[in-house]
Amino acid sequence: MPPKKARIKDIALLAGVSIGTVDRVLHERGEVAERTREKVMRIARELDYSPNFIARALKTSKRLNIVSLLPEATEDNLFWIRHPQGMERAVNELEPFPVNLIQVTFDLLDENDFQKKTIKVLNLHPDGIILAPIFKTESISFCEKLTKRKIPFVFVDGFIKETKFLAYIGEDIFHSGRVAGQLADMITPAGKDILVVNLARNIQNVHHLNNRTQGFLSYFPESGKNRGNKLNISIPNTEPETIKTEMDRVFTQNPEIGAIFITGSKSYKIADYITNKGLKSVNIIGYDLLEKNIAYLKSGIIKFLIGQRPEEQTYQGVKKLFEFLTQSKIPERIEYLPVDVVTSENVKFFL
C-alpha cells in the first residue's frame, strides 16, 4: 500500500495558509511573500507532493497542442505515409484527455521549405513537438529556439545529439545494417559477391545510409561466412535509365553477385531492374514496408525487408510528450525500436 497522496489542502493546512496561496507557489504565479513561498515549498517537498493529474484534467479543459514537423509523403517518397497514423492512434487512445494534433509537413528536398515550416510551427503555440531532423543545420537552429522557449521536442527517424531533445524513438541505424548483413550472409552462397546500393535522392540522407552500410559491412569480417567481394555503389537518382546504366556496369564487371542490399527504402527500383534482367538467383534485401516493396517480397524477388516501425515511432512520440507535459514523466532518452525482420510469410502482421 503506497502512502496516501498528499493534496494541496494538506500542504495548506500544514503551512497555515489557504489553498489559493499554495497554488500560487506551486505554479510560480508570483504575488507571494518570499517567506510564505519557502515554507510552502518545503512542506510540499516533505510531503512529496505531486498534483492529481485527473483532477487537473477535469478542471482545465485546456487542450494540449502537439505539433509534428515531418516530411510530406509523396508519390515518390512513400516512406512517410505511415507516420501520421501512429500519431492519430495515440491521440485516439488518449481520448478523454483533450489533445490537439497539428501535422505540419515539409518538402523532403527543400531546406528553405523546412525553415518556413519551422516558423509556422512556432506560430501554432505548440506545447510539444515531434520532429524528423532531416536537415541538420536548420534543425539545430530550430531546436535551439525550442529549448529557449521550453518547448519539449521528440525526434523520430534520427537524432542530433547536439540538441536538448526530450527523447528519440527509432532505429539503431548501424545495428539495423548489421542485421541485414547477417541475413544476406545466411542466404547467399559463401563464394558469391555482395553488392550494397545507396539509392540516395537527397544528399541529407547520406549520413544515415552510410551508417547502415557500415553496419552491414561490419558483420562479415567478424561473423560472416561469405568470402566474396563486397561492392558498394551510389546511384545518384532513381530514374530507371540511370539505374540500368549503373547496374549494368556493375554486373558486367562482377558477374558473381549473389545478393544486393539497398540502404534506402526504394528497393523496388532495384527489384524492377533485376526482374527485367531475369536475374533469378540474386537475393535482394531492403528496407521499409512500402507497397511496392511488399509486392516484390511476396513474389520472392525481395527476400527480406527490414522494418523500422514508422507508426510506432510517432505513436510513442505523442504518448511520451503527453506524459511529460501532463505528468512530468521523464522518458527514456533514447529508445531503439526492434529491428523487424520481415518476409513474405510474416509481413501480414506488420501492416
Binding site for DNA (CB under 7 A): 7-9, 16-21, 23-24, 26-27, 30-34, 36, 51-52, 55-56, 58-62
Grid cell digits, residue 32: 507571494
Q: Which is nearer to its own copies, 178 or 269 (CB)?
A: 178
In angstroms, the CA 135 to CA 26 distance is 39
| From candidates 11, 67, 325, 337, binder to its own copies by CB under 8 A | 337
- Please give the Cα distance from 283 to 301 (Å, whole number): 7
What order do you get walking across the sheet with 167-170 strand by strand? 99-106, 64-71, 128-131, 153-156, 167-170, 334-336
CB of 138 to its own copies, least distance (A): 31
DSSP track, 116-128: HHHHHHHHT--SE
164, HSE (Cβ side, Cα atoms, 13 Å): 9
Q: Minimum CB separation from DNA for residue 341, in Å?
A: 46
Return the residues of window 291-310 that contact its own copies according to CB under 8 A.
300, 303
Number of residues in contact with its own copies, rule: CB under 8 A? 37
Question: Cell numbers 497554488 correspond to what residue?
Answer: 23
In the list 141, 229, 237, 343, the residue contacting its own copies (rule: CB under 8 A) is: 343
Q: How far is the CB of 2 from its own copies (least distance, A)?
A: 10
3-state DSSP call for residue 321? helix
Q: Choose from DNA, its own copies, none: what does 336 bind? Cβ within 5-8 Å by kind.
A: its own copies
Q: In terms of CB distance, is 57 or 231 closer to DNA?
A: 57
74, 115, 238, 344: which one binds its own copies (CB under 8 A):
344
Task: Show the site string, 220-259: x = touches its own copies by CB under 8 A, - = not.
Answer: ---x------------------------------------
Residue 149 interacting entry, from DNA, its own copies, none, C-beta within 5 to 8 Å by type: none
Beta strands in the chain (DSSP E): 64-71, 99-106, 128-131, 153-156, 167-170, 193-199, 230-235, 257-262, 283-287, 302-307, 334-336, 340-342
Closest contact distance (angstroms) between CB of 264 and its own copies is 20
Query: What is the sign of the dihedral through the CA atoms of 302, 303, 308 and 309?
Result: positive
In the complex, least distance from residue 26 CB atom to its own copies, rounded to whole angstroms? 17
Alpha-carbon 42 to chain mean position = 40
What φ, ψ does residue 64 adopt, rounded to 5°?
-85, 135
Choice from 38, 45, 46, 52 touching its own copies (CB under 8 A): 52
Does position 33 interact with its own copies (CB under 8 A)? The reply is no
Q: How many CB atoms lie within 10 A of CB 149?
A: 10
Cβ-contact 332, 167 below 8 angstroms: yes
Q: How far is the CB of 8 from DNA (least distance, A)?
A: 4
Report the interface residues with its own copies, using CB under 8 A: 52-55, 57-58, 95-97, 172, 175, 178-179, 181-183, 186-187, 219, 223, 300, 303, 327, 336-346, 348-350
